[in-house]
Structure 1
Amino acid sequence: MQQRSENTERFQIDRLQQAAFGYFLEHSDPVTGLIADTALAGAPASIAATGFGLSCYPIGVERGWLSRGDAARRVVATLRFLAQSPQSRHRQATGYRGFYYHFLDMRNGERAWQSELSTVDTALLIAGVLTASAYFCRDDAVEGEIRALADRLYARVDWRWALNRGDTLTMGWRPPGRFLKHRWRGYSEALLLYMLALGAPEHAIEPEHYAAYAEGHDWIPVEGRPHLHAAPLFIHLFPQAWLDLRGLADRPMRERGTDYFENTRRAIQLQRDHARSNPGHFAGYGEHLWGLSACHAPRGRLRLRDGRQQRLFGYVNRGAPYGPDDGTLVPWAPLACLPFEPEAAQASLVHMAKSYPELLNEGRFPGGFNPSLDGGGPEGWIDARVVGLDQGLVVMMIENWRSGLVWTLMRGIPAIRLGLQRAGFDDGWLRQGEGARGNPPASSAKG
């Protein structure tokens, strides 16, 4: 009976991973290769979602959902477009100095929504470019072009310019020539940004800039041990969708006797503890229903199903501890946490399948839901958005749990190793000398 239950759970995870992967087939432009921010009609492309998609195509090949040739053609179309699209100070350009605007028109790549030239979203894009380049390593014309274009795109990003004469990287820039006032200082998803900027073949920043970023970390005590705090889950998860940080520690982590992987496990535990204690008395919260992160929700004071009035925050970085919480949860959290807490994640998936059967949208989890609101069913309010970033994170984290494919690919990229080393990381696979650029065989996938 236990074996049957395990097989059922594995089948459910297989289906969820394949459905999430399908987002990138259904919501990409056939000419530009750009991927939509959400599944809503008319949504612009997100360069971050495009980066996730580029990382997911190799997974689709390994799982048999897409042929290698089809995947390579999708990747090369995207990289050609990125390489050839306008890079200038013009307000409608696709990018500038190797960076890209956060949102782009799906069909022509022009800047959308007056968005910023985003440093961190460009990093997510470049991470996807490098993942695809590492996977498509065969000696043929298309895969050779993928590698050449990837090298070109990475080399032209002017990371030093994004410092704007400061000690940390800026969050972005707006035309015709104004940097955003905020900088990436303190623990955030920009951990990946700094690794790419430190290891870059051109325009690399110096280790002193990473040290300045790390000086802003917020350490809190948890059960007598130091924890690097970030309330929203995505901050812990996004960099580790690509970076295998098991056993790796930089100076701040070494001084406290821990590493980023274990720190993420504690962050998940803190979220589960918050859901169990449920200080806001929200519906559904408990051991098997948790997950606070950045997501959309209604905004304003609304009546909950128990009669209370509750302020809803709209789009905000929800989190625990010390983060805003209005009863809105991200249902993709357990899937994204599988590499860190597989038993808790699988138990949560079983619970959600039984208790909230209407959550899935074409087999995919929405951006968020709030069971405390009266929506006609136990799910309460369900976000109409299916979000590209969420789907990519789900596909990649399931695969890292199953086979470690993305982690293996990234370990083999010299720039990733260099970036980690220049940031002061040591131990783990860095100490063991693992990683050789190449394509893991299909047999490497488990389950």
Structure 2
Amino acid sequence: MTRNCSRWCKKPASVIIGKLGIRMPEWRLKFCRAMKILSRWDHPVLASWRSFHGVWPHFLDGHTGKTIAYFGKYDDGGDLVETAFLVQGLLVARQYFNRNTKDERELLDTITALWQSVEWDWYRKEPTSDFLYWHWSPNHAWHISHPLVGWNETMIVYLLAIASPTHGVPASLYHTGWAGQSELAVRYRQGWGRTTHGDHYTNGNTYFDIKLEVGVGTGGDLFFTHFSFMGFDPRGKKDRYTNYFNNNRNLALINRAYCIANPNKRLGFGENCWGLSAGINSGGGKPNPREENGTINCMASLASFPYTPQESMAALKHFYHEHGSKLWGIYGFRDGFNLTENWFEDVNMALNQAPIVVMIENYRSGLIWRLFMSNAEIKPMLAAIGFDDDN
């Protein structure tokens, strides 16, 4: 979300602090300071965010706080999806920093105020809309007009919008928007997927002998199975469409099976070298021949640890032992590599680093899942949508 930021600011605080010895005063101080900055609506620059109806922009300058219209002039307002990712993390932190001290009580109050200030209902565009919308700008209003339609990374937006205690939306929007069957929703899926498989949200087809209940085509980028599920725990529950833990596992296995089949004859693809997802130079990052350019994205397999622990561990060992310093550095694994074109990325992208850290911790201990799900607003939201136990 920020640029010109220290290398740690993108990392999940609860994981970092836990690994460094838990409750280190300097980390609490840094996190408290960050929350104070985010909550200073009276600041002459930060006050502009209030006009986004409690929603933060996609990018902002880490020195000045000014919005960066990175994707063009119309991207100068609130970004509901990026805000949902931030709120997902804040609600984890709210449960983690729970000591009865002045600093942590203030931190809890600040996070709660930020969470309650997000006007999810404003981003319906119209009071009777069946969808939530990605962007809104005080200068260009709904010009982008991008509805949030699943299957993709935006599930957490609907979950949080329905859970909101102050600006909530009806639980029915989960079914009319995220899992919608309307003509608009079907055209949307057909447009990006270029297939009718899964265009009504549910799929039901089998790929590489693996059945996919929800997903467009062969499922799309693997980050769809990570971003909304860093805090939301999909284990042991299902809605009327699927059990998302099982579905995410199948998505990862389909992705790996595609790399093993390797229809484009990419150099290096195989049972231990797999993982297609969006990246800096991924060329699409989807498991179908027309939408991958031979790039392996490290996050794709490594952030899938909870779903495919053996397969993900094999990929991790392959990346580390076979490619060494070409792929591994002081910030972890680099974004990706392409052996067919003979290059390795020389950068680490925070957007892909964070899911690796969080999802490995969820596999190891379930920490982030447990903290997020312990928020009082989550259980009633799941009941309202119609999630049932599925053990």
For 1:322 and 1:211, the matched residues in 2 are separated by 31
- Indicate yes or no: 2:250 matched with 1:283: no
Say if 2:358 and 2:368, in contact at 8 Å, map to a contact too.
Answer: yes
- CA gap of 1:205–1:391, structure 2 versus 1, over 3 A, is same
Aligned counterpart for 1:243 among listed residues 223, 232, 240:
232
1:132 is matched with 93
- Indicate yes or no: 2:53 matched with 1:97: yes
For 1:323 and 1:420, the matched residues in 2 are separated by 37
- Indicate yes or no: 2:115 matched with 1:154: yes
TM score, norm. by length of structure 2: 0.84
Q: Which amino acid aligns with 1:228?
A: V
2:368 is matched with 406
- CA gap of 1:321–1:424, structure 2 versus 1, over 3 A, is farther
What SS does structure 2 have at the residue aligned with 1:93? helix
- Indicate yes or no: 2:37 matched with 1:69: no
1:371 is matched with 339
- For 1:43-82, what aligned pairs fall within 5 Å after superposition? 43=4, 53=11, 56-64=12-20, 67-82=23-38
- CA gap of 1:323–1:401, structure 2 versus 1, over 3 A, is farther
94-103 or 201-210, which deviates more: 94-103
For 1:101 and 1:214, the matched residues in 2 are separated by 25
What SS does structure 2 have at the residue aligned with 1:104? strand
- Indicate yes or no: 2:316 matched with 1:295: no
Say if 1:85 and 1:109, in contact at 8 Å, map to a contact too.
Answer: no
For 1:237 and 1:205, the matched residues in 2 are separated by 24
TM score, norm. by length of structure 1: 0.74
Q: Which amino acid aligns with 1:131?
A: V
The CA deviation at 1:64 is 2.4
2:157 is matched with 193
Q: Which amino acid aligns with 1:197?
A: A
The CA deviation at 1:196 is 0.5
Q: Which amino acid aligns with 2:316?
A: L
Say if 2:153 and 2:224, in contact at 8 Å, map to a contact too.
Answer: yes
- Indicate yes or no: 2:185 matched with 1:214: no
What SS does structure 2 have at the residue aligned with 1:58? helix
1:274 is matched with 258
Say if 2:41 and 2:47, in contact at 8 Å, map to a contact too.
Answer: no
The CA deviation at 1:365 is 1.3
The alignment's C-alpha RMSD in Å is: 2.5
- Indicate yes or no: 2:147 matched with 1:183: yes
Say if 2:46 and 2:65, in contact at 8 Å, map to a contact too.
Answer: no
Aligned counterpart for 2:352 among listed residues 390, 402, 407:
390
The CA deviation at 1:252 is 1.7
Aligned counterpart for 2:135 among listed residues 167, 172, 187:
172
Higher relative contact order (CA 8 A, sep 6+): 1
The CA deviation at 1:269 is 0.8
Stretches of structure 1 that go unaligned for 5 or more consecutive residues are 1-33, 37-42, 254-258, 298-311, 374-379, 430-447
Say if 2:222 and 2:251, in contact at 8 Å, map to a contact too.
Answer: yes
Q: Which amino acid aligns with 2:162?
A: L
- Indicate yes or no: 2:337 matched with 1:352: no
1:13 is matched with none
- CA gap of 1:66–1:323, structure 2 versus 1, over 3 A, is farther
The CA deviation at 1:319 is 1.2
- CA gap of 1:133–1:360, structure 2 versus 1, over 3 A, is same
Identity %: 27
- CA gap of 1:381–1:92, structure 2 versus 1, over 3 A, is farther
For 2:138 and 2:387, the matched residues in 1 are separated by 36
What SS does structure 1 have at the residue aligned with 2:130? coil
- CA gap of 1:428–1:141, structure 2 versus 1, over 3 A, is farther
- CA gap of 1:343–1:349, structure 2 versus 1, over 3 A, is same
Stretches of structure 2 that go unaligned for 5 or more consecutive residues are 186-200
For 1:86 and 1:170, the matched residues in 2 are separated by 27
1:381 is matched with 343
What SS does structure 1 have at the residue aligned with 2:205? strand
- CA gap of 1:65–1:273, structure 2 versus 1, over 3 A, is same
For 1:147 and 1:407, the matched residues in 2 are separated by 19
What SS does structure 2 have at the residue aligned with 1:178? coil
1:24 is matched with none
Residues 69-97 of structure 1: per-residue CA shift (max 9 Å, x gap): 22221221111111114699x99934521
The CA deviation at 1:186 is 2.1
For 1:70 and 1:279, the matched residues in 2 are separated by 51
- CA gap of 1:342–1:224, structure 2 versus 1, over 3 A, is closer
1:142 is matched with 103
Residues 30-54 of structure 1: per-residue CA shift (max 9 Å, x gap): xxxx754xxxxxx5799xx96x63x
The CA deviation at 1:67 is 4.3
Say if 2:306 and 2:359, in contact at 8 Å, map to a contact too.
Answer: yes
Equivalent pairs, count: 356
Say if 1:87 and 1:97, in contact at 8 Å, map to a contact too.
Answer: no
- Indicate yes or no: 2:216 matched with 1:227: no
